[in-house]
Amino acid sequence: MVPDGLTVSVVQQRGDIAPGRAQLRLANGSDRPITVVAATLTSAALSEPAAWSARRATSIGSGRVVDLPLPLPPVACTTDDDGPRVTLEVGADDGTRSVDIAADDPLHVLERLSATQCDQDAVDAVAHVEATAVAPRGDGTADLTISITPAGGGSTSALDLVALRGTPLLRFAAGDEAPLGAAVRSGDAPSTLSVAVTPRRCDPHAIAEDKVGTLFDLVARLDGKDVTLSLERPQPVADALLAFTAAACRLTPAG
C-alpha cells in the first residue's frame, strides 16, 4: 500500500544531463515523516531498472520534497508508452515494506530520452561522430577535431552533418553556430572535420561549475529528417576544453 500523500515524479535537471542521470522527486503530502530505504525506476525507455544508490536511508518530513539521484542505464529506443513505475522500500513498524507506485513524468523526460536514442541509433547505423581532440592555437581559439567513422554496414541512409551549436561556455570563431557541410555514407572512408572554438564567457564560476559547457549540439539531417544530438566527447576531451577555456581566459598560471 502506498503511503498516504506520497507522490513520485521523474525529473532531469541541467546538472544531470552530462553524467547521464535523472532524479526521482518524492513529495510527502502526509502529516508524518516517510523513510525511504531504496528506490528503483522501471520504464520501457530504459534497458534495465535504474536504482537509487542509497548510502543511507532518507527521511522525508511532512510537506517536504526530496530528489533522489538515479544513474541511468542505457536508454532504449521504443514507442511503448506505458508509464514509468517506481518500487520503494519504505520504513514500517516492523522493519521495511515494498510499495509500487506509478510515477509522473510531467516534462516527458523518458519519452524525450528514448526519442533521442532512436535518432542516435539511426545516425550510428551510418557513422559514429565524436569530438576526439582539442588543439589550442595560442590566440584565444582552439581547433576541435570531429572524427567521423562510417559504420561500413548495409545502411543506405543519407547522413548530412549540418552544423555544431555553441554551449553556455564555448562558441565558435565563426559565431554561435559552426557550419559543417559534410555528407556521409556508411561505406565512406573515415574522415575528420575541424572547427575553431573560443570562450563565450570567462567568469571563474562558469568554468568551475560547468555542467553542460562542453556538450555541443550536433545538427544533422538523416534521409531528409532534421535531428539534433549531443556531440559525443570522451572525458579527456571535455577536460581539455575546460583547460583551454581557463587558459584562454587567463585563469591559470602561464606555462
Write out pLDDT tens, residues 77-94: 998 777 899 999 998 777
- On whether both 77 and 130 belong to a single domain, the answer is no
Q: Residues 91-112: what's their mean pLDDT? A: 90
Specify the pLDDT at position 255.
47
Q: How confident is the model at residue 253 (pLDDT cuts 50, 70, 90)?
A: low
Which one of 62, 82, 109 terminates a domain? 109
184: containing domain: 125-248
Residues 139, 234, single domain; the answer is: yes
* Residue 49 falls inside a structural domain: yes
Looking at the fold, whether 81 and 174 belong to one and the same domain comes out as no
The pLDDT mean for the chain works out to 92
Please report the pLDDT score of residue 238 as a whole number. Answer: 94
Please tell me the predicted confidence (pLDDT) of residue 1.
Answer: 63
Question: 56, 82, 109 — which closes off a domain?
Answer: 109
Q: Is 16 among the domain residues?
A: yes
Predicted pLDDT at 166: 95
% of the chain with per-residue pLDDT over 90: 78
More confident residue, 154 or 38: 38
What CATH number corresponds to the domain at position 72?
A: 2.60.40.10
| 148, part of any domain | yes
Q: Are residues 11 and 84 in the same domain?
A: yes
Task: Give the chain's domain count.
Answer: 2
Residues 135 and 226 in one domain: yes
Residue 92's pLDDT is what? 76
Q: Between residues 91 and 21, which one has the greater pLDDT?
A: 21
Same domain, 88 and 179: no
Task: Clarify whether residues 135 and 242 are in a common domain.
Answer: yes
Does residue 116 sit within a domain? Answer: no
| Closest listed residue to residue 62, CA positions, set 100, 43, 35, 81 | 35
- Please enumerate in sequence order all residues whose Cβ is within 8 A of that of 142, keeping only pairs 6 or more positions apart, or say none: 134, 135, 136, 196, 197, 198, 241, 244, 248
> Is the residue at 253 inside a domain?
no
Assess whether pLDDT exceeds 70 at residue 43.
Answer: yes
11, 13, 21, 60, 106 from 109: Cα distances, Å: 7, 10, 11, 24, 8
**209: confidence class by pLDDT, cuts 50, 70, 90:** low
Task: For residue 143, tell me if it sits in a domain.
Answer: yes
83 and 139 within one domain: no
Are residues 148 and 226 both part of a single domain?
yes
Domain contains 118: no
Distance CA 199, CA 34 (A): 46
User: Would the pLDDT of 101 be above 80?
Assistant: yes
Question: What's the pLDDT score for residue 240?
Answer: 96
- Let me know whether 173 and 86 are in one domain: no
